[in-house]
Chain A
Amino acid sequence: MTDSPSGGFSRRRFLTSSGAIGTLALAGCTQNTSSGNGDGSGNNSSDGSSSDGLSGQVIIKGSSTVFPISDAMAEEFMEEHENVNVTVDSTGSGGGFENWFCPGDSDINGASRPISDAEIEQCSGNDVEPVEFEIAGDALTVAVNNDADWVDCITFDELRQIWSDEAGVTNWSDVRDEWPDMEIERYGPASTSGTFDYFNENVVGEDTEHTTEYQPTEEDETIVQGIRDNEGGIGYFGFAYYNSNSEAVKAVEVRAEEGDECTPPSLANAKDGSYPLARPLFLYVAESALQTEEVSEFVEFYLEQAETDVVQEIGYVPSSAEQRDENLEKLDEIAG
């Protein structure tokens, strides 16, 4: 009823004609497949130019502070091994440990603070054994608006007053009398961030709570924008972000105690230890992931390159030669 005779006719003719053309073509232009890969698996190996045939993927999550270094390493590594897919994501140190690394969903976690006991416990509950490498140093930078000419140097105690609810500070004048009566607009990393943890532990103090009266974000760029647009703005982030935004905001010199010398954030000052907010950056690799060739190759590359100018260009302190050798030795022991 539905199939009209003409429809059936043309279909049959189509089948015969396409069959005839197919046979002709088969007889004519053919290529030999036996030289290629005969298993016919999904990947086309036409670009077989990669020198070593290393393939697979490496998943990096973690700190937004370490992200620029890892991203650069991924790019350099993939230039040599074009079939290894190294993906980098910035989730914050804590967010990376809790949501991806410890559940076993990522191979490597960047961190701007050492791993916590609770996180080690969570990891071992899932049979993930983190291996720690110290890969670079950072000068955590406190920045204010360019027009904030009243503040040049700040002590830990003043930072503590600003970043905790205890002192009830709302305006700049509450901290130091000569500062203007202007509201403090705080911009800082979210609590999943390692930068937050470091600042909370070393400046605000473990007994004091970090304030919640601020704009938390996982994107350091947002902090810079907030400070730039608000005269009473203050915030803190990794040195690299200041390094590439040094026009937009003003970095404040820091001293631990009232009597200490004021030190500006810089790579040199972080290296020689004179900057009080200098901190190490870490890479945590799952021990099981290190058993695969692509991850161990990548980590080896990473640890070697962490000593070079690549890290310096991004705005961090490269690891020392001893640090590098120590790291490589550790890697050798575990990866075999």
Chain B
Amino acid sequence: MATREPETGWHGEDSDVNHLRGRAFEATCLAATAFGLVSVLLLLLFVANDAFRPFSADAGWLATYAATVLVPLAALAVYYYRLDEPAGEVAYVTSGLPVVGLLLTGGFAVLFIELLSVLEWFALLISLVVAGGLIAAHGRLRPKAALERLAVVLLAPIVTVFGLPPTSFNRFVTDTAAALGLDFGLYYRVISLREAIMMLPFVPTDWVMLLLTLVLPVAGAAGWFVEQRRESRRDGLAVVGLTTAVAVVGVVAGPLLGIGTDVWLLVVTFAVLPLGVYVEGVLRRGEGVRGLAFPVAAVLGVVVGSVVTGALGFAGPDPWLDWGFLTSATSRTAADAGIYPAMVGSVMMIIVIVLTTFPVGVGAAIYLEEYAPSQGLMGKFVTLIEINIGNLAGVPSVVYGLLGLALFIRVLQWPQGSVIVAGLAVGLLILPIVIISAQEAIRSVPDSFRQASYGMGATRWQTIRQVVLPEALPGILTGTILALGRAIGETAPLLMIGAAASVRLAPNSFFDVASMMPRQIFSWSSELDPSFRHGVLAAGVITLLAVLLVMNATAIVIRNRYQRTG
């Protein structure tokens, strides 16, 4: 660019250049943008108004909260924006972190309520750690035996988690033998470490197990982080110690305040600890410290507001989207209806999708980008495959629903409307998107990186593992999370695989019948009672949007980190 001579002398000098067309084009583009944004905003406001019904509150209630919360926060926001931008970022993060932390807390609480008991979680984690230890020990003792290590990496988790042979495999063999008329079975098996722990007559109490397996590892990671940043081992240990102390004090004092011990430990791990580490960093850097006033003002405002409205007797709004909505099942009376089982179903469906789609999609992308031949007849074939993956990304979702119905329900005979079937059908739907975005991410790693790696004598496998994948990972994650955002909102495949209109129990396993959020919202849209269509429906939509926004925000944070470090 800089080498070229600046071109002057012929255009722009003439005074009768017509700017009209350019201006008109600019105005049209602006109008298109404004129209799109304004209509989406209006729609959201309309739905939010239905869901929260702010105007069902007394005028005094609204005025009180406007004075105690809205005005101070708006003033602070304007101040940060105009005068102190670093403080604005601090304010943003310190307000956002607890929200994300509490959402994570909710996610884990649901996990422990619906899926695993704390003991099962404890046993599973210990077994995985032991398996990791075995793999590491093997790597230490026999660093050269690569093939043997592969076997250990595959077998160790199976042996410690599932036993030898695994129960389901055992049952499969026995059943098959019985079907063939043979009495053949593996009656003796080595039970896994997980099962052994489950059978112990005495195990630690729930909170101790949570403290060991959740609080301490997360606190350890945070301590390590602080240790690196401050280059002081003592500070790192202080973080771990302080976290443990806060957790234990909460466990002892919690019952007095009416907080469950498990919930308290989760809150400490996911909300208090990250916030504490972040605030510590802010205070140490001394940059944007004024931003800490924002969350403090928010909390104070709410407290003062509730005291004032309580004293003056102003009635608050009666929103459709409230705590009861998030924690109860659907009902035929609109006021009692809730989204809890559907929310659990959606989260479990996302787990299935992540566990299946991510490895398959990223694996396919790595093969297509790094290994697949690009020349000759095979190269043409690979191009054909890539084109078809692009086409698959555009196939309507109903088709994937039909595929799921035919394959998983009719052929494999899995229970219709179950979490696993829904997850796999929707997973197939987003698989092409995951492959394409992962391919893009891998392609964007500069070729010079690979050449440099080869130049240093690395093999292709080492290059991919050590150079290409770490560089491409943030891009892959961003693409995958955005694809998951699409997955969680899909309705048509769920209808095809028979997810029922009303399910009142949250699923306990992946083979349980479940409802998902979009399916539940769709069935509310056809309820007899109009208050379902105007109130409950809006509350469901807002919940779904909130989950989507959190997922997209995660994607953005990951991308930003990538841009900063990369």
Contact = CB atoms under 8 A, between A and B. Distances in A.
Interface of A: 2-3, 8, 11, 14-15, 18, 21-22, 25-26, 28-34, 38, 40, 42-44, 46, 57, 59-61, 64, 67-68, 71-72, 74-75, 78, 82-83, 85-90, 100, 103, 105, 219-222, 240-241, 243-245, 314-315
B202 interface: yes
B212 interface: yes
Contacts of B498: 61, 89, 100, 105
7 contacts: A15-B133, A31-B206, A44-B116, A85-B505, A85-B512, A89-B498, A245-B528
Nearest to A76: B332
A87 B530 contact: no
A11 B216 CA distance: 15
Chain B: interface size category: 35 or more
B249 interface: no
B188 to A, nearest CB: 19
B89 interface: no
B501 A74 contact: no
Nearest to B416: A105
A87 B417 contact: yes
Contact of A90 (B117, B195, B203, B501): B501
B204 A85 contact: no
A31 B118 CA distance: 12
B528 A31 contact: no
Contacts of A25: 204, 208, 211-212
B140 A8 contact: yes
B331 A33 contact: no
Interface of B: 116-117, 119-120, 129, 133, 136, 139-140, 195, 198-208, 211-212, 216, 220, 331-332, 409-410, 416-417, 466, 498, 500-505, 508-509, 512-513, 515, 523, 525-530, 533
A28 B374 CA distance: 63
Contact of A40 (B140, B195, B417, B502): B195
| Interface SS majority for chain A | mixed
Contacts of B204: 25-26, 28-31
B198 to A, nearest CB: 4
A9 to B, nearest CB: 12
B332 A75 contact: yes
B248 to A, nearest CB: 11
A105 to B, nearest CB: 5
B528 A68 contact: yes
Contact of B119 (A8, A33, A78): A33
A240 B528 CA distance: 8
Contact of B513 (A3, A38, A42, A57): A57
Contacts of A3: 139
Contacts of A219: 525-526
B409 A105 contact: yes
Contacts of A61: 498, 500
Given A30-B204, A33-B119, A83-B505, 8 more contacts: A28-B204, A29-B207, A30-B202, A32-B201, A43-B508, A59-B513, A78-B505, A85-B504
A89 B500 contact: yes
A78 B336 CA distance: 14
B528 A241 contact: yes
